[in-house]
Structure 1
Amino acid sequence: MSNLLAGAIGALLGLAGVALGGWLQRRGEHQRWLRDQKLRAAIDFIGATGAIYDRRRRVEAALPTATSQGTDWARAQDARSALYLLCDEATVEVAEALITRVRRLQHATDGSPDEEAISLLRDLVRRLRTELGAGLGK
């Protein structure tokens, strides 16, 4: 009888170990997936916002095409939506402030950068690095 009880306890412990290992693996995979989604959204948002910023600050005789503007705005909006779904509220607020600032920019007569937009971009990158983990460097 004691052999049967010891076997049952051993089987239960083995089953519990397998269940715990599976749960930990799924949790780790989900965290990696979430981090990858945040990273993609951040890259798309920063890239599209940077293109819009450059276009709005550039002093040129030729205006950009409506197609390129629309594509960048669509990319920024898609990435912004992903940031809203995946990131912390503080990160989303900075992203919103950045896109609002970029939307209001005018052409620079001297080609100088917009310090407020640059500061918001730095703050957004800092928050995203914190949110995504230490693996992205300083």
Structure 2
Amino acid sequence: DKKKDLEHLKIKVDNGADYIVTQLFFDIDVFLEFVENAKRIGIDIPIVPGVMPMDKYGPIKFVSKQMGIEIPEKLKDKLEAHKDDKDAIKKILEEHTLLMCKKLVEQGSPGIQFYTMDKPEGTKKVLQELCKE
């Protein structure tokens, strides 16, 4: 329940939390909505988005199912259309992660928490691309 989650988060903030780090997400609109809802109830500390660069479709389906993380329909459709092409999947996911990170920076994100799961290559690639701009 998103409302209860925000209420619990507000209690943590009221008891001294200095900042918030989110779990990973694939839909930037969901994150931006979360930030707006948090602000609406008086949460005014930095909210750092959690991003996990991935290069395979299987793990995305797994975390989506196990953790209830929404995958945008447009991304899901692209992945399904190329599910048997590992190189295409990797490219689609790299582009999606980079685009999300660019939008986060443009939106004034106080930082980005990269979840690497002992695979730093995707994060390194995203950071290299972000630094080019």
Question: Shorter-chain TM-score: which interval?
Answer: 0.3 to 0.5
Report the TM-score, using the length of structure 2 for normalisation.
0.35
Q: Which has the higher strand share?
A: 2
Which of structures 1 and 2 has the bigger CA Rg?
A: 1
Q: Which has the higher helix share?
A: 1
